Amino acid sequence: MLSKNTLKFIKSLQQKKIRKQEQLFFVEGSKNVTELLQSDYEVSQVLFTQQYGKGHAELLKRSNADIFEVSQTTLESVGSFQSNDAALAVAKSKPNTPIEMTSDEWVIALDDVKDPGNLGTIIRIADWYGIQKLLLSEESAEFYNPKVLHASMGSFTRVKVFYTDLKSQFEKAGLPIYGAFLEGESIYESKFGKGGIILMGNESNGISRELESSVTHKITIPRFGKAESLNVAVATAIFCDNIKRSSK
């Protein structure tokens, strides 16, 4: 039976300090819950409506989690969505494990990308382009923030993320680093190899001066109109698209 204390605890996972302390997080909505149940994450609890249960009976049956059929009102009372007529699941966070990088693969590095929506969208973009590894500065948005996970649309289950000191990580990797700048070589004229690091900067300040010295290739997306800048997630997508087409 689903107790009031359990509901209260799940609701508390909206707080970053509780997620960190308990090493747990939650996702909401049909897409994210389904992707989570199909992944290698350790899921502890699933709350779902009758409608979701009918459509995903086998998936729920195979799960090792405690499953509870609840009302839509109950789902909405513990989660962050204003409207959720499907499901919510709680799972164990993965440890912050170093990522091995090779010269024939692409890795995305984010220098203090603060907005959870941007991080989630970048995770989804990385997944779309087959990039499975992300390096994040320690001041970047939290991976298990509900807004990050929602924006990723399930892609968070297929990427590896490592929070680290980017400067030292770049020195260890010894790979070419393609940084996004307002001034640099046009992305349409740049030659990309089979692998390397794509470095994207903070929403307001771009790539920090500390990391600028590590960049081996300064790349810019040419502007044809009057907008002052591009959203970092949009810029990441443009980088990934041009790199993938160039390195075929």
104-130 pLDDT per residue, tens: 999 999 999 999 999 999 999 999 999
Burial class (CB in 10 A: 0-12, 13-18, 19+), 1: exposed
153 and 31 fall within a common domain: no
> Given a cut of 80, is residue 27 above it in pLDDT?
yes
Residue 98 in any domain: the answer is no
Domain boundary pick from 62, 92, 122: 92
Whether 1 has a pLDDT exceeding 80, the answer reads no
Mark whether 121 and 73 lie in a shared domain: no
Cα distances (Å, whole numbers) of residue 84 to 30, 185, 223: 9, 46, 40
State residue 62's pLDDT score. 96
Residues 80 and 51 in one domain: yes
Residue 69's CATH number? 3.30.1330.30
Closest Cα partner for 157 from 31, 46, 68, 56?
31
Does one domain contain both 127 and 221? yes
Q: Which of 27, 61, 92 is the last residue of a domain?
A: 92
Shared-domain flag, residues 155 and 231: yes
**Together in a domain, 174 and 206:** yes
Is residue 174 domain-shared with residue 64, that is, in the same domain? no
What residue numbers bound the domain in which 67 lies?
4-92
- Are 187 and 239 a contacting pair, CB within 8 Å? yes
The answer to whether residue 231 sits within a structural domain is yes
> Coil, strand or helix: which one is 13?
coil
**Confidence class for position 248, pLDDT limits 50, 70, 90:** low
Looking at the structure, tell me whether residues 141 and 176 fall in a common domain. Answer: yes
Q: Count other C-beta atoms under 10 Å from residue 186's C-beta.
A: 11
**pTM flag (> 0.85):** yes
Task: Dump pLDDT digits (tens) for 180-220.
Answer: 999 999 999 999 999 999 999 999 999 999 999 999 999 99
